[in-house]
Amino acid sequence: MGSSKEEITKRLSRAAEEIAKAASDETDSISTSIQREVASNILDLKEESAAQKTELVALKSDVNALKSDVNNKLNTVNQNLRDLHKSIHTLLSLIQEEGKISRIQNALQCIKSPDHLDEFNKVIVSILGCFSRGEGCNVDKHFKHYQNREYPDPFMTLLKVTIHPLIGKAPRVAKDSNEEWCIWYE
């Protein structure tokens, strides 16, 4: 009996060794298989990463090109707006100048023919003529005999009040650098 227990123990021991060896071999096989699969997955991920990096670089290049294109278009729009602003400003200036000329011409038409004018109206016509040429008029120089040198303010006020309704605005009356009375459209 003893030998049979011993034999059973040996067999069990060999069976246990074979099972342990088979388990070890299986573990090695599984480990190797997992390592291969992980290595393959890492390679796949590296390839995908490289492809995505290439796509990202291309996408970044496209975005930069679009950004540059948008900036160019914005610059063009801004320049067009500046040009439009200048054109509108020029047009408004021309319209204002045309309005000024039209008001002066209407004022001259409101006054009767120069042959039938009194002396004061001749002064007004002369001043309006200066305005139509874009000039001011030196009242002291041209119309000394119409004003009282000691009291020029009433005459200047009369000129201003008379011309205002004719041209639609009060002209500017002041002394120039030579201390002579002048009148301007502005």
In angstroms, rounded to a whole number, what is the distance separating the alpha carbons of residues 20 and 11?
14
Residue ranges per structural domain of the chain: 111-184
Per residue of the chain (186 residues), what is the pLDDT tens digit? 556 888 888 888 888 888 888 888 888 888 888 888 888 888 888 888 888 888 888 889 988 999 999 999 999 999 999 999 999 999 999 999 899 889 888 888 877 665 666 777 888 888 999 998 989 988 877 666 555 555 557 778 888 898 999 898 999 988 888 888 889 988
Tracing tokens 């060794």 back to the chain, one arrives at 17
In angstroms, rounded to a whole number, what is the distance separating the alpha carbons of residues 73 and 53?
30
Q: What is the CA radius of gyration of the chain?
A: 53
pTM: 0.53
Residue 117: strand, helix, or coil: coil
